[in-house]
């Protein structure tokens, strides 16, 4: 049978990317095959400068010929040198294990950005003097809240001619803090919160827009600039723009238009804008037609050249509106305000539709909570005003307004000033975040677990704003590294995070100081936060390893290895006989009842992460073939482990802070962490597990007593130690403290704190760090984990826990679709699995009844306690605990376990 053509072609992890600025982009594809045990034995890629060439099977830039390999992900381009700002077309075919060639894939394409250093010497422009306004409090830790001077939105324009038919017209643009790009009266690109946040002095990102279909003979390009993070209090300044319009004519001739003094600039209707502050738009300020050709801009000022920054292409999904939410209800308050409830906490803004007299001021305040009397509770916003104001132009027709350069974290909106009484059609909620594509689906028979999972999805997306943020509502929304790594595994199960995290890892690398230290927050907008708590800066090692495990991304390792090593060596200089005593600040943050860790010593979590990260470094060294370093760091990790045990291990439990002389209770996090890394000496392991279980079962009645660190690991540790049922109880009860409690109290995203707190304080209703539980859902309940990098080997090991009668999960991995679905009925258990082409499967079939029979697609493979019929594609590997293990190649499998009489 002819193999199916490759699918889902990706370049640098993205579909049809624009602005690829690497000389050897990585190409990936996915394979599907109805045959079991299929694998790619060879591929051929053709890459051409024109679609016609590709159609005639000519790869004028690259024809790999037939390459014998099983590699189908991250194949590095190695053809003719790619030109900047050019579109390339490629396709691929593969040979299956029978050495049959597939048809060619559908073609895919990408457009390059600026590949060679110095090719684009950007000129940055801005207004001679930006009009300014004062906004409240954008300096963390929030609470210093000095007033901030920010600029009113800046409008820039210029006209240009396109003299002939364009084969390709591209606009490359970086507008800082944020920009909206317009061409001939239309918005180009998602607008609003682009480009992604970086430490601009080190690197600003440019976006690439294909406008071939929109250019005409006479054109006007317009840009509106907002403040975003490019503000004085973070060490930057007023907004600025660099832009390059490049047109390639069908004749091959090229024309380039830059940002320069020929651009004109003015103020406009957006009078005030700030990320935390909100936006104020006065629609009576009329500059109609400013973004179209022929506008009379003689009254506008000439733009001036300003200092700029190094540039790189933004190679990750943009921030955009992904979903529209109608209000669930609108309630009128006595005071004349209306409260819109969107039924869901989320990040973004609203779209207002209103008509009325000119000058009518409509005010929208955003909040996560209501007070008991139904009024807006702005407490969790802390110093973020989160208020958008729209002043009607009043020319008769309905006016539609959306803010441009702000976002809010909210469920409720209070509207005042609306002419008449607003109905639900007056306001629509827009969910806005980095638009990573979904990669996982998960569902169980337990509704509470499904709801926790749903809340995590909303929380995760609300906290992806070109960086992983801690929260979307208060005046933080920073790249706190602890929050980033604790939620990262859950994120890669649920979404395609490869490009997003690759960008963030670069942000981390650029934030490193010469001494090797890293900050708590990346980009380091808050300069005081060096050196980081090692439990936070562990994000560096953790994310590199995660990208290796899930996407087999060797380039990420090669790019970051040296900096990661410098970071680990830096930690070494801070260690005192291998114990890190001085760097810890937050530790097992936000345990029940408080913010700072009350029982887990901070030296312990710092040292534990030191060990954790050294082990990762040793593993990465081995991947790169640096065997001597791999051994050296493995030895160092051993030494740290020994020192850790000497310092913190007692007779049967690890150290805990004692709150009174009679407090000798074991602490969950203290015991869970070393168990997780298998640091506990073999002869004491049972005792340490017993201490942990004592705390869970007897002292806390199956409740967590962990902060965000312990929470990430405790359910795994309990499950691995054979206490999966205890873990399940912890995950699913509805009382304080726990995930079920949050939902029972009305949460639609997870909270920052285990407590239900609603005041003006650190109690965000939409933090993602406690969402780490979702990784446990996928790995333990569905049972899916990568055994080899990039899911080249898949383990399926579902746990039958609690009242679950089915669990199903599907993942779109770099290797292709992976799935597990199990269902338990009276005396039968079914397990369907999907292993991608080229991968191997290690399928642990749950075996709840001694002596039961296991069939696969009707054939008996296991009976009583021994293998039965032989199948070369499904090889039994014996009993392992509560499972029978089978080794498979790729394919879809349907096992059934039947109780025998
Ligand atoms: C953030 C956290 C963060 C922490 C560090 C908070 O203000 O919201 O999630 O990790 O500070 O201690």
In whole angstroms, give the CA distance from residue 569 to residue 610.
10
- Residue 117: band (very low, low, confident or very high) from pLDDT cuts 50, 70, 90: confident
Site of tokens 């962490």? 673
- The more confidently predicted of residues 188 and 134 is 188
Distances (CA, A) of 700 to 697, 728, 738: 6, 14, 11
Q: What is the mean pLDDT of the segment spanning 519-538?
A: 94
Q: Which of 35, 98, 101 is nearest to 65 (CA)?
A: 101
In this structure, the residue with its CA closest to atom 9 of ligand 1 is: 470
173 in Cβ contact with 302 (< 8 Å): no
Distances (CA, A) of 636 to 359, 577, 819: 69, 11, 38
- Protein residue closest via CA to atom 5 of ligand 1: 586
DSSP H or E segment with residue 708: helix 708-720
Residue 142: its pLDDT value, please?
A: 45
Measured distance CA(331)–CA(421) in Å, rounded: 10
Give the number of the atom of ligand 1 that is nearest the alpha carbon of residue 762. 7
The residue annotated as part of the active site, out of 194, 385, 489, 752, is 752
Atom of ligand 1 nearest to the CA of 482: 10
pLDDT computed for residue 792 by the predictor: 97
- Strands (DSSP E) along 177-235, which ranges? 178-183, 186-188, 204-210, 218-226
Using 50, 70 and 90 to split pLDDT, how confident is the model at 144? low
Query: Mean pLDDT for the chain?
Result: 96
Tokens matching residue 763:
């109690």
Catalytic annotation present for 827: no
What is the C-alpha to C-alpha distance for residues 589 and 709, in angstroms, rounded to an integer?
Answer: 7
CA–CA gap between residue 369 and residue 387 (Å, rounded)? 15
Strand partners for 366:
413
Query: Residues 550-559: pLDDT tens digits?
Result: 999 899 999 9
Of 465, 520, 589, 760, which is best to mutate to test ligand 1, by the most ligand atoms within 8 angstroms of its C-beta?
589
Closest CA to 836 of 1, 9, 13, 31: 31
Name the strand (E) or helix (H) holding 499.
helix 498-511
With a cut of 80, say whether residue 742 has pLDDT above it.
yes
The residue written with tokens 């020994």 in the block is: 642
**pLDDT computed for residue 135 by the predictor:** 82
Tell me how far the alpha carbon of residue 527 lies from the centroid of ligand 1, in angstroms: 15
For 830-848, the pLDDT digits (tens) are 999 999 999 999 999 999 9
CA of 491 relative to ligand 1 center, distance in Å:
19
Q: Closest Cα to atom 2, ligand 1: which residue?
A: 470
Q: Which among 383, 586, 757, 765 is the best mutation to test ligand 1's pocket, defined by most ligand atoms within 8 Å of the CB?
A: 586
Q: Which of 504, 493, 606 is nearest to 551 (CA)?
A: 493
User: How confident is the model over 229-237, as a mean pLDDT?
Assistant: 91
The answer to whether the beta carbons of residues 785 and 811 sit under 8 Å apart is no
Question: What's the rounded Cα separation, in Å, for the pair 287 and 247?
Answer: 28
Residue 546 near residue 785 (C-beta atoms within 8 A)? no
Q: Which among 824, 846, 828, 839 is positioned nearest to 892, based on CA atoms?
A: 839
C-alpha 65 to ligand 1 mean position (Å): 52
Provide CB contacts within 8 A for 282, sequence distance 6+.
269, 271, 391
Residue 665 pLDDT greater than 50, yes or no: yes
Supply 290's token pair. 């400013």
Nearest to 560, CA basis, from 607, 504, 608: 504
889: left (phi over 0), alpha (psi -120 to 50) or beta: beta
185-210: burial string, b at 16+ Cβ within 10 Å, e else: eeebbbbbbbbbbbbbebebbbbbbb
Q: Can you tell me the distance from the alpha carbon of 89 to that of 16, in angstroms, rounded to the nearest whole number? A: 10
In percent, the amount of the chain with pLDDT more than 90 equals: 93
Residue 527 predicted with pLDDT over 80: no
The answer to whether residues 398 and 354 touch, using CB atoms and an 8 Å cutoff, is yes
The alpha carbon dihedral of 199, 203, 204, 205 has a sign of negative
The two tokens of residue 329 are 């209800």
Q: Which atom of ligand 1 is nearest to the CA of 536?
A: 10
Token representation of residue 408? 């809010």
Residues 6+ positions from 81 with CB-CB distance below 8 Å: 23
Separation CA 722–CA 726 (nearest Å): 9
pLDDT at 534: 98
- Nearest CA, atom 1, ligand 1: 470
Beta-carbon neighbour count of residue 251 at 10 Å?
A: 9
DSSP assignment string, 693-753: HIIIIIISSS-----HHHHHHHHHHHHHTT-HHHHHHHHH--SSSSHHHHHHTT-SS--SS
Structure confidence at residue 139 (pLDDT): 58
In contact, 579 and 537? CB cutoff 8 Å: no
Query: How far apart are the CA of 480 and the centre of ligand 1, in A?
Result: 6
Under DSSP, the state recorded for 106 is P
Structure tokens at 92: 């691929």
Section 25-37 average pLDDT? 95
Give 173's strand partners: 207, 243
Q: Is the pLDDT of residue 137 over 70?
A: no
Mutate to test the pocket of ligand 1, among 139, 476, 535 (most ligand atoms within 8 A of CB): 476
In this prediction, residue 490 has a pLDDT band, given cuts at 50, 70 and 90, of very high
893 three-class SS: strand
C-alpha to C-alpha distance for 379 and 368, rounded to whole angstroms: 9
Query: Which atom of ligand 1 lies closest to the CA of 474?
Result: 8
DSSP character string of 20-67? E--SS-EEEEE---SSTT----EEEEEEESSHHHHHTT--SSEE---E
Check if the beta carbon of residue 696 is closer than 8 Å to that of residue 688: no
Summarize pLDDT for 312-322 with one digit per residue, the tens.
Answer: 999 999 999 99
856 counts as catalytic: no
Measure the CA–CA gap between 56 and 37, rounded to whole angstroms. 33
Interval 348-390: pLDDT, tens: 999 999 999 999 999 999 999 999 999 999 999 998 999 999 9
Residue with tokens 């802070």: 657
**Predicted confidence band at 145 (pLDDT cuts at 50, 70, 90)?**
low
**How many other C-beta atoms can be found within 10 angstroms of the C-beta atom of residue 798?**
27
Coil, strand or helix: which one is 654?
Answer: strand
CA 534 to ligand 1 center in whole angstroms:
14
Pocket of ligand 1 (CB under 6 A): 470-471, 476, 480, 482-483, 586, 589, 762, 767
Active site residue: 272, 399, 476, 896, which one?
476
Burial group, residue 450, by CB count within 10 angstroms (0-12, 13-18, 19+): middle
Task: Answer yes or no: is pLDDT of 283 > 60.
Answer: yes
Helices H / strands E in the chain, number of each: 16, 51
Pick from 886, 816, 880: nearest CA to 857: 886
Other Cβ atoms closer than 10 A to 638: 15
840-846 and 793-796 beta bridge pairing: parallel
pTM of the entire structure? 0.97
Structure tokens at 541: 């090692």
Torsion of CA 547, 550, 554, 555, to 10 degrees: -50
According to the model, what pLDDT value does residue 118 have?
Answer: 85
Q: How far apart are CA 111 and CA 107, in angstroms?
A: 14
């Amino acid at each position: 049978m002819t193999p199916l053509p490759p699918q889902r072609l990706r370049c640098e992890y993205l579909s049809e990317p624009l602005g690829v600025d690497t000389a050897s982009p990585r190409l990936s594809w996915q394979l599907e095959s109805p045959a079991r045990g299929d694998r790619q034995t060879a591929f051929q890629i053709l890459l051409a400068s024109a679609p016609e060439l590709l159609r005639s099977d000519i790869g004028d830039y690259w024809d790999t010929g037939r390459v014998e390999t099983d590699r189908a992900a991250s194949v590095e381009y190695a053809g003719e040198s790619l030109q900047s700002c050019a579109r390339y077309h490629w396709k691929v075919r593969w040979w299956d294990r029978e050495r049959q060639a597939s048809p060619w894939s559908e073609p895919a394409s990408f457009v390059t950005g600026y590949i060679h250093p110095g090719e684009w010497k950007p000129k940055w422009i801005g207004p001679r003097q930006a009009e300014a306004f004062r906004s409240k409090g954008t300096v963390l830790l929030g609470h210093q809240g000095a007033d901030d001077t920010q600029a009113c939105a800046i409008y820039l324009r210029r006209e240009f001619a396109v003299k002939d038919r364009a084969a390709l017209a591209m606009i490359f643009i970086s507008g800082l803090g944020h920009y909206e790009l317009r061409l001939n009266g239309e918005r180009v690109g998602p607008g609003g919160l682009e480009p992604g946040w970086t430490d601009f002095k080190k690197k600003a990102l440019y976006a690439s827009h294909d406008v071939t279909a929109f250019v005409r003979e006479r054109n006007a390009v317009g840009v509106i600039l907002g403040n975003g993070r490019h503000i004085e209090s973070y060490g930057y300044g007023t907004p600025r723009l660099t832009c390059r319009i490049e047109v390639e004519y069908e004749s091959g001739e090229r024309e380039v238009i830059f940002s320069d003094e020929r651009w004109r600039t003015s103020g406009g209707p957006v009078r005030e804008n700030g990320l935390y502050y909100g936006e104020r738009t006065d629609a009576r300020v009329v500059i109609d037609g400013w973004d179209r050709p022929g506008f009379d801009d003689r009254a506008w000022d000439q733009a001036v050249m300003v200092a700029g920054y190094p540039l790189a292409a933004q190679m990750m999904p943009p921030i955009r509106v992904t979903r529209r939410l109608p209000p669930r209800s609108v309630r009128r308050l006595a005071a004349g305000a209306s409260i819109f409830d969107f039924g869901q906490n989320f990040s973004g803004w609203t779209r207002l539709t209103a008509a009325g007299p000119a000058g009518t001021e409509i005010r929208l305040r955003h909040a996560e909570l209501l007070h008991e009397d139904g009024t807006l509770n702005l407490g969790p916003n802390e110093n973020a005003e989160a208020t958008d104001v729209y002043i009607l132009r009043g020319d008769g027709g309905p006016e539609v307004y959306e803010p441009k350069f702000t976002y809010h974290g909210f469920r409720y909106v209070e509207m005042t000033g609306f002419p008449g009484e607003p109905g639900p059609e007056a306001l629509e909620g827009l969910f806005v975040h980095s638009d990573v594509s979904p990669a996982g689906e998960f569902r169980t028979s337990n509704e509470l677990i499904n709801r926790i999972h749903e809340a995590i999805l909303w929380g995760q997306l609300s906290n992806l704003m070109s960086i992983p943020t801690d929260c979307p509502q208060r005046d933080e929304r920073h790249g706190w590294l602890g929050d980033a790594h604790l939620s990262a595994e859950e994120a890669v199960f649920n979404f395609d995070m490869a490009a997003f995290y690759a960008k963030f890892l670069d942000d981390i690398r650029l934030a490193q100081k010469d001494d090797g230290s890293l900050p708590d927050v990346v980009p380091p907008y808050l300069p005081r936060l060096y050196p980081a708590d090692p439990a936070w800066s562990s994000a560096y090692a953790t994310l590199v390893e995660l990208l290796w495990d899930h996407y087999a991304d060797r380039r990420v390792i090669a790019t970051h290895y040296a900096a990661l090593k410098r970071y680990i060596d830096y930690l070494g200089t801070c260690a005192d006989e291998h114990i890190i005593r001085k760097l810890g600040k937050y530790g097992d943050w936000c345990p029940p009842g408080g913010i700072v860790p009350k029982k887990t010593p901070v030296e312990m979590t710092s040292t534990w992460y030191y060990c954790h990260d050294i082990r990762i470094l040793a593993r990465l060294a081995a991947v790169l073939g640096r065997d001597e370093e791999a051994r050296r760091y493995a030895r160092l990790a051993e030494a740290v482990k020994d020192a850790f045990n000497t310092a913190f291990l007692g007779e049967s439990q690890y150290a805990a802070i004692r709150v009174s002389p009679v407090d000798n209770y074991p602490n969950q996090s203290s015991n869970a962490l070393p168990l997780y890394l298998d640091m506990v000496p073999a002869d004491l392991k049972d005792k340490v597990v017993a201490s942990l279980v004592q705390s869970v079962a007897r002292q806390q009645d199956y409740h967590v007593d962990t902060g965000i660190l312990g929470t990430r690991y405790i359910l795994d540790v309990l499950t691995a130690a054979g206490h999966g049922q205890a873990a399940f109880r912890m995950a699913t009860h509805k009382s304080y403290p726990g995930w079920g409690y949050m939902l029972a109290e009305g949460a639609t995203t997870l909270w920052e704190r285990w407590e239900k707190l609603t005041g003006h304080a650190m109690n965000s209703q939409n933090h993602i760090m406690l969402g780490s539980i979702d990784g446990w859902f996928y790995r333990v309940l569905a049972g899916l984990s990568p055994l080899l990098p990039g899911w080249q080997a898949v383990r399926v090991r579902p746990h039958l826990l609690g009242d679950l009668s089915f669990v199903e999960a599907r993942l779109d991995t770099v290797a292709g679709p992976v799935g597990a679905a199990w269902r338990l009925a009276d005396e039968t258990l079914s397990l369907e699995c999907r292993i991608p082409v080229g991968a191997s499967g290690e399928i642990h079939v749950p075996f709840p009844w001694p002596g039961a029979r296991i069939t696969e697609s009707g054939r008996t493979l296991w009976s009583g306690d021994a293998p039965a019929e032989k199948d070369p594609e499904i090889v039994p590997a014996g009993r392992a605990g509560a499972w029978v293990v089978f080794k498979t190649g790729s394919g879809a499998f349907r096992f059934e376990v039947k109780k025998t009489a």
